[in-house]
Each structure stands twice: as structure tokens, then as C-alpha cells.
Amino acid sequence: MRNRRIESARLPGAFLFLVIVALLNGCATTPPLSETTRSTLPERHVVDDVPFHGQRDYQCGPATLAMVLAHEGRPASVDELIPQVFLPGREGSVQPEMLATVRRHGLIPFVIPGRMDAVLQEVAADRPVAVLQNLSLPWWPMWHYAVVIGYDVGDELLVLHSGRSPRTVIGMGRFDATWARSDRWAFVALPPGALPVSPIGRETAKAISTFESVQGAEVALPAWQALAGRAPTLPLAQFGLGNALAATGERREAARAFRRAVEEKPDFAAAWLNLGLVLRSLGQIGEASDALRRAAGIPGPLQQRAKNHLDER
């Protein structure tokens, strides 16, 4: 009995050791790629013109930003970026600060879907992809930013600028095991007017809107134009375009964009309200009143404001 108890006491420790080893190694299975990805993308591709910045202790965030910014013609040194994104108490950089810094440097950060297909599609379009990995355990994280600059579908490999090593080659399965622990967070940094290859929607509009709040309507206008052109039936794209056009003095074009927004979404109170205000500024009083009445008839936070504008003479 004594020997059995000792043997039983050892089992949990051995089991825990095996679990830890399994988690550290991760599941090295390559994530499945869609047939579209396999049939339309080049089998291998490397974005050759991404400069490399070595990552010092806890500075992988600033180094990653320096690489993606420089690729888009917004060079910034790692030392310049450190105070913008590095949080000493956290010994690293967190995602909101990374994205905010990209905006301050005149680029729009688009968080892309957490799928290997999305990463490969962006790289194939010559866009380096910034990724967040957890190189340790889920409950004992070792966060790390890197830049995916290349891939080989046939050999199931990725090429990363990572740590102190440029063009690090890693298996897709091994990479995905560490990427999955960050909920597969990744982004591309693009100039206004360029959009991610990935499917676009509300989050794309939100990214442009947040960029506009930092850089202004005139700088963001090309992004809204690109989004409305690619997704003409997306109400938020037309609404954002209308706002940017109105802010830059293009009121007639703004009215057209707001009309398209309400055609796609008849209960879009904000678009009706802005349409009414733009039409009023153009002297189209009857049409303006009709639009404001539509806004005033939609319950919500803008209803009273629309009624107030209707009462104005």
C-alpha cells in the first residue's frame, strides 16, 4: 500500500509535465487553407523591401512598428517609437497603443481576420503583416510582436522578421500554435485609399473613422472613397464618405452619399439628419425638411435633435 501511494502521488506531477510539454510545443498542424487561396495566390512570395529592425528586450512592439511604417514610406526609428507605445509597467506594448501609433504616423491600421488565408493574401499583395504571438503558456504569457514578410504554401512555411533575426523561416503549424494564443491578432498598416485584401465591412469603416478622428476629414477622404467604391451598398461607407465630403466643402457630393446610405438603410437616422442639414445648406428647403422629418420619426438619441432642427426657421 505504501508503494502504491507513492506511485500514485507521482502520477499528477508526471501528467502535469506532459501537459506542459504538449502546450509548449503546441499543435504543429498546419491550419487549413481555402481552395481559393491555394488556387489564386502564388505558391511562394516574399515582400523584399521590408527593412529589418532588431528587437531589444521588451521592444518588439516599437521594432515591429518601425518595420511596417518604413515599408509604407513613414520611416521612424525604434528609439522614437518607444515612448509612443512602450508601457514600462507592462514590460511591452499593447494593441491599442500599437494601432494608435500607426494612425499618428498617417497610416490606417486594419486588423485582419485571424486566419492563415488572410495573412497570406496580404503578403501576396506586398503588405507585411504585423502579428502578436504568445511564445509561452496561455496562463504565463510571453507576448511577442513580429512581421510576416513571406510564405511558401508548398512547404507550409512562413518568413518573419522576428526578434534579432531577419527572415526567420518557421513552419505554419508551429507559428499558428503561438499565434492562436493571442486570438490570432494581426494587422496591416496602409495609406488612405488602400484597403486590405480581406473582406471588408463595419470594422473597416470603424478603422477609417478612428483614423479620421486623428488625422482629419481631408486626409481620410481617399479611404472613404475607396471603401464606398468597393462596397457601395455598405451604409456606413456611404455615411462616412458623406461626412468627409461635407467637412471638405463638397456638399452636393455629400448629399448624394447620404442619399445612398438611406437607400440602403431606411432607418439610418444619422444619415437622414445629415442629409437634411446638407440640403438645407444648399438651399433645398423642402427636401431638407423631408429628410429631417424622417430622422425625427426614428426613435433614438438623434430624434430630439432632428425635431429641434425642424423647428428652426
pLDDT value of residue 223: 98
Number of domains in the chain: 2
Question: Does residue 15 sit within a domain?
Answer: no
HEC string for 128-182:
CEEEEEECCECCECCEEEEEEEEEECCCCEEEEEECCEEEEEEEHHHHHHHHHHH
Task: For residue range 205-241, list pLDDT tens digits in order.
Answer: 999 999 999 999 999 999 999 999 999 999 999 999 9
pLDDT value of residue 24: 44
Instruction: Decide which of 140, 170, 190 is a domain's last residue.
Output: 190
What CA–CA distance (Å, rounded) separates 254 from 247? 9
Instruction: Decide which of 164, 190, 216 is a domain's last residue.
Output: 190
Question: Does residue 211 sit within a domain?
Answer: yes
The residues, ordered by sequence, that sit 6+ positions from 3 with a Cβ below 8 Å of its Cβ are none
Question: Does residue 24 sit within a domain?
Answer: no
Are residues 215 and 251 located together in one domain of the fold? yes
Decide if pLDDT at 259 tops 60.
Answer: yes
Q: Which residue has the cell 481631408?
A: 218
What is the span of the domain harbouring residue 77? 35-190
Are residues 42 and 178 located together in one domain of the fold? yes
Task: For residue range 42-85, list pLDDT tens digits in order.
Answer: 999 999 999 999 877 668 899 999 999 999 999 999 999 998 88
Q: What is the CA radius of gyration of the chain?
A: 25
Quote the pTM value. 0.88
Are residues 75 and 219 located together in one domain of the fold? no
Task: For residue range 155-179, list pLDDT tens digits in order.
Answer: 999 999 998 999 999 999 999 999 9
Task: For residue range 136-156, list pLDDT tens digits in order.
Answer: 766 667 889 999 999 999 999
Local confidence band at 262 (pLDDT 50, 70, 90 cut-offs):
very high
